[in-house]
């Protein structure tokens, strides 16, 4: 009798735990099937691996600075603005190695980008840590005036769309079916932005692309982990047009869209395509907006050795990918054996993040197809690189969990 009672208690406890620990419906409804990670890319990365040189060239610039997510250099070259985890944008002066808070922003800023048309402004994405949001503060795309320090909301609402879970979509610029919210509120139903993650500003400064890795009400940090494991196709890319004030859907139905860059377009009025990172799928993907491939997408490179976060281009047009963390054998196995995901997503987030892993950078050719450089690091100096920002004197590495600036010499390749 006692054994039966113990068994019953354990069974009931297991059922209750299984229910309480379940990821939200928007994720558990859409867990991807098993996938095979392309091993060819890892072999190409091994051929250009410079991890030893990378480690020896790291220079930590100690600053009184919170952990942060992204950085942008202003035109004077030795001053950077960083989006810190304390909910402020900080000003870093590398001439005298000082840092100080510049502006208190809504929620918490993540991606940040200069305004090509004005040295007096920067744009930033604000999303915060999802939880405990002050009700008066709203996620979205904002502009900071560097003279007055005034913060202006640019995009707080986007078209309310329903993702086709079976078929991702890219909208060509000329497609009249693309959901678009007009400046006067016309264009159909709209909703609040859930997560404005990263952004890119067109060369002429008139269009802003921003990523929304997922959308649902009251998102939490735990949801981001579940998204990465499930490979739920909840990612979207949006574009704001400063000339018309409209917000247009560029693509949806992708996996955790994060970093975004426009492609070079010499001799043409505007970009024909943009590239994005699918962080949890270890990919870079190109969306075609104009030209013969408009309305389509292609995988530029897959099977990356880590989880790509932010992207930047250097003066030669090469793409610098921040590898937030390496692609561990465990995560690779989980993606290859999707049957285990309902269990893994119920484990405590602290347990899933407890293993310290390597972080690093990958450099791709300007079109993204060819690995040129790869370096990973595990040690006391550096962890969780969220952005790798090229500058004239080196590569500045944004370490999301270490309050320092890291400078690595520009490698020759």
Phi then psi for residue 284, to 5 deg, are -115, 130
The region of weakest confidence among 34-38, 53-57, 355-359 is 355-359
How confident is residue 185, by pLDDT bands cut at 50, 70 and 90? confident
- Dihedral sign of CA atoms 61, 66, 72, 73 in order: negative
Rg (C-alpha) for the chain, rounded Å, is 21
The region of weakest confidence among 12-16, 194-198, 360-364, 372-376 is 12-16
pLDDT of 190 strictly over 60: yes
Beta carbons of 382 and 358 less than 8 angstroms apart: no
pLDDT of 9 strictly over 80: no
| Residue 70 neighbours by CB under 8 Å, 6+ apart | 82, 83, 109, 110, 111, 112, 198, 310, 386, 387, 398
pLDDT of 5 strictly over 70: no
Tokens of 359: 């972080």
- How far apart, in whole angstroms, are the C-alpha atoms of residue 25 and residue 23? 7
| Residue 365, helix vs strand vs coil | coil
36-57 mean pLDDT: 90
pLDDT of 302 strictly over 90: yes
- How far apart, in whole angstroms, are the C-alpha atoms of residue 228 and residue 58? 29
Phi then psi for residue 323, to 5 deg, are -95, 95
pLDDT of 177 strictly over 60: yes
- How far apart, in whole angstroms, are the C-alpha atoms of residue 137 and residue 53? 44
- Dihedral sign of CA atoms 103, 109, 115, 116 in order: positive
Q: What is the DSSP string of 94-105?
A: TTTTEEEEEEE-
Neighbouring C-beta atoms of residue 313, cutoff 10 Å: 17
Phi then psi for residue 92, to 5 deg, are -110, 125
- Angle at alpha carbon of residue 132, lines to 127 and 136, rounded to 5°: 70
65-74 mean pLDDT: 88
- Angle at alpha carbon of residue 366, lines to 363 and 368, rounded to 5°: 65
Instruction: Tell me if the domain spanning 32-408 has CATH number 2.60.260.20.
Output: no
């Amino acid at each position: 009798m006692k054994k039966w009672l113990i068994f019953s208690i354990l069974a009931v406890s297991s059922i209750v735990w299984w229910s309480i620990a379940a990821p939200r419906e928007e994720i558990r409804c859409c867990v991807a099937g098993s996938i095979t990670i392309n091993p060819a890319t890892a072999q190409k990365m091994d051929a250009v691996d410079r991890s030893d040189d990378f480690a020896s060239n790291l220079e930590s610039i100690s600053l009184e600075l919170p952990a942060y997510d992204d950085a942008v250099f202003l035109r004077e070259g030795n001053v950077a603005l960083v989006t810190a985890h304390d909910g402020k944008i900080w000003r870093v002066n590398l001439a005298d190695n000082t840092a100080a808070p510049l502006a208190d922003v809504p929620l918490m800023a993540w991606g940040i980008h200069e305004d090509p048309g004005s040295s007096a402004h920067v744009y930033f994405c604000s999303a915060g840590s999802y939880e405990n949001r002050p009700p008066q503060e709203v996620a979205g795309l904002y502009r900071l005036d560097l003279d007055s320090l005034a913060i202006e909301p640019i995009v707080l609402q986007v078209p309310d769309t329903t993702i086709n879970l079976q078929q991702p979509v890219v909208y060509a610029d000329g497609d009249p079916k693309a959901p678009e919210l007009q400046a006067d509120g016309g264009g159909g139903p709209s909703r609040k932005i859930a997560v404005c993650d990263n952004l890119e500003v067109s060369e002429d400064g008139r269009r802003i692309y921003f990523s929304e890795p997922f959308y649902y009400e009251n998102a939490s940090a735990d949801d981001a982990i579940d998204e990465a494991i499930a490979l739920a196709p909840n990612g979207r890319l949006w574009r704001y047009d400063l000339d018309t004030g409209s917000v247009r859907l560029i693509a949806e139905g992708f996996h955790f869209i994060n970093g975004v860059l426009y492609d070079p377009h010499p001799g043409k009025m505007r970009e024909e395509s943009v590239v994005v990172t699918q962080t949890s799928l270890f990919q870079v993907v190109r969306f075609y907006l104009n030209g013969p491939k408009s309305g389509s997408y292609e995988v530029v490179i897959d099977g990356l050795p880590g989880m790509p976060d932010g992207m930047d281009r250097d003066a030669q047009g090469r793409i610098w990918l921040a590898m937030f963390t390496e692609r561990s054998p465990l995560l690779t196995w989980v993606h290859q054996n999707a049957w285990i995901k309902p269990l893994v997503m119920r484990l405590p987030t602290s347990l899933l993040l407890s293993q310290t892993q390597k972080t690093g950078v990958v450099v791709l050719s300007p079109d993204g197809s060819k690995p040129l450089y790869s370096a990973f690091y595990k040690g006391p100096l550096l962890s969780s690189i969220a952005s790798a920002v090229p500058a004239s004197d080196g590569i500045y590495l944004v370490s999301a969990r270490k309050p320092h600036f890291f400078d690595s010499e520009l490698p020759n390749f």
